[in-house]
Every structure is written in C-alpha cells, then in structure tokens.
Structure 1
Amino acid sequence: MTNQQINHVRSTWAMVAALDAETVGGLFYNRLFEIAPEVRHMFRSPVAEQSKKLLSMIGYVIGKLDKLDDIIDEVAKLAQRHVQYGVKAEHYSTVATALLWTLEQGLGEEWTDDVKDAWVLCYTTLAGAMIAAAGETGKQPQQKDSTVWAGLA
C-alpha cells in the first residue's frame, strides 16, 4: 500500500471509529447476515460484544498498516481461530462486501473512489494473508486465485 492509501484508510477509519461501536457493528453484522445468513451460526457472542471486538481489531491492524511485518504472526493466529469457527476462503469476499457497504454508509460523501480503492487493497492484503495462513493449517484449501475478490474493485 502507498502512504496515500494508508492515509485514506486511517483517516476514514478515524471517522467511522468515532461513531458508536454498536451502531457500526450492527450495520456490519446486519448486512453480513442479510447477504450470507448461513454464517450467522459462527457468531456466538451478542452483536454488541462482537461489534466492539471487530472495531478494536480493525483499529489495531490499521494502526500497523505501515508495519504489517510486525503483526503477521498475529494475523496468522487470527486466521487459525477463524478456521476453528468454520470460516472458509470464500467467506472473506462476503465479509469484504459487508465491510465496504458499512464503510460507505458511515462515511457518506467521504466515500470516494480513491477511499474505496484503498480499503479494497487493505482488505485484500490482510484477507489474503489470513487465507494463506489458514491454508497452511491444512484445515481448508488455500484460495489460489483472485476470484474471492471478484466484484470488490
């Protein structure tokens, strides 16, 4: 990611993070369950609790975007936990769709093509690392092509 893309992600995330976590998380999870009701069973915590965890995790990763090598082991552990929840490679594109939609709702006019492109790159980079790490566990096949990202750019 370029410095400009990192700045787009960080500045727009600051706007979203300033909103109520339960509201943002509610938008995200409602959208996720609307487009993929089959994943609802993977989320056992109440949406309010899950929302806080999601926003905290995203904020942490965004803070390290210029130092991704520092958190690659943590990303791998997160991926391995996701495998235990039943997450498969194809779920990452569904989550991306819900996340991008949520960001667009929260950012309104600040959601520009450049901001979207930066978020897509950010997400695909991190999700790609998670898919690769999950594939290394042998518990799910590694996504070998870019079809998981179809329609995001």
Structure 2
Amino acid sequence: MGFTEKQETIVNSSWEAFKQNIPVYSVLFYTIILEKAPAAKDMFSFLKDSAGVPQDNPRLKAHAEKVFEMVHDSAVQLRANGEVTLTNATLGGVHVQKGVVGPHFEVVKEALLKTIKEVVGDKWSDELGTAWEIAYDGLANAIKKAMT
C-alpha cells in the first residue's frame, strides 16, 4: 500500500501550521537536534560560532523551512509517484561534505517529529506522526542514495 491521500492531507495541514510560526519552530527543531547530538552543531554553518541555537538567525530559519518543505514535498511525491526524487542534484554531495552518516538522519527525524508534535498540539496522532515519518524516510533514503 502506498502513501495515502489521507496521509498527504494531514502532512499538508500540519506543514501549513508549521509555516505560521517558522522562527519559533526552527529554533525548537535545532534545539532538539543539538540536545540529541551536540557534535552536529559543527555541521551547520549558522550554528558553528554560536553558544546555542540563535533565536533570530535568518539562515537557521531558512534551513529549517527548507528541511520541512522537502519532507512535505516528499509526501506529495510519494502520493503521486510512489517514490521520492531529489530536485537538488547536489544534496547528496553536500551531506557527504558535511560528514553526515546514517545515525544523523535518525536524529533529524526525531527532531522533525517532536517539532511537528509541538506544532499541532492536541491534534497530534500516531497517524499524523506515521505520515511525517514515512515522508521523511522517503526523503532520507533519496539523500542516502545520492550520497553514494
């Protein structure tokens, strides 16, 4: 069974909710990442020289928005095509250059899911989490494939 219309719909609606307060959710997303993997700080140019997660950094906000947007787009692609194709051919190389390895994808997935849970509040459900997880895994697998 492929990615369902309902899964795509719930990813779409929570993506729209995320976009309502990108600055706050971006900080939360990177805070969760650094709590789980403090050494990952050096992988992000906008975090390298800061004591923690900067509260008002346009590059941090833009990167978080791009990550969530790519996962959202993956949900759309999974529903339409049954697979995720990267629109940015350099994404695999960038991840290799930054030293990204398998466990990093799991940390980002956990941070993404915790952030979405915060975004939707009492509308959170296992079904919603599973939809985002499947979409993220599709994207992560496409990036891993491009890294080889």
**TM-score between both structures, scaled by the size of structure 1:** 0.77
Q: Distance in 2 between matches of 1:5 and 1:71?
A: 15
2:39: which partner in 1? Answer: 38
Q: Distance in 2 between matches of 1:133 and 1:75?
A: 10
Tell me by how many angstroms 1:23 deviates.
0.9
2:15: which partner in 1? Answer: 13
Q: Distance in 1 between matches of 2:95 and 2:26?
A: 18
- Match among 75, 100, 111 for residue 87 of structure 1: 100
When the two chains are superposed, the root-mean-square deviation of aligned CA atoms in Å is 2.2
Q: Give the alignment of 1:81-120 within 5 angstroms.
A: 81-120=94-133
Against the structure 1 CA distance between its residues 64 and 124, is the aligned structure 2 distance closer, same or farther, given a 3 Å change threshold?
Answer: closer
SS of match in other structure, 1:51? helix
More relative contact order, 1 or 2 (CA 8 Å, 6+ apart):
2
After superposition, the C-alpha distances for 1:92-129 in whole angstroms (9 at most, x for unaligned) are 00111111111111211111111011011111111111
Against the structure 1 CA distance between its residues 75 and 128, is the aligned structure 2 distance closer, same or farther, given a 3 Å change threshold?
Answer: farther
Against the structure 1 CA distance between its residues 32 and 64, is the aligned structure 2 distance closer, same or farther, given a 3 Å change threshold?
Answer: closer
Alpha carbons 1:76, 1:129 under 8 Å: kept: no
Tell me by how many angstroms 1:71 deviates.
7.1
Q: Distance in 2 between matches of 1:94 and 1:133?
A: 19
**TM-score between both structures, scaled by the size of structure 2:** 0.79
- Which runs of 5 or more residues in structure 2 are unaligned? 48-53
Alpha carbons 2:74, 2:136 under 8 Å: kept: no
1:3: which partner in 2? Answer: 5
Tell me by how many angstroms 1:60 deviates.
5.1
2:19 pairs with 1:25: no
Alpha carbons 1:25, 1:51 under 8 Å: kept: yes
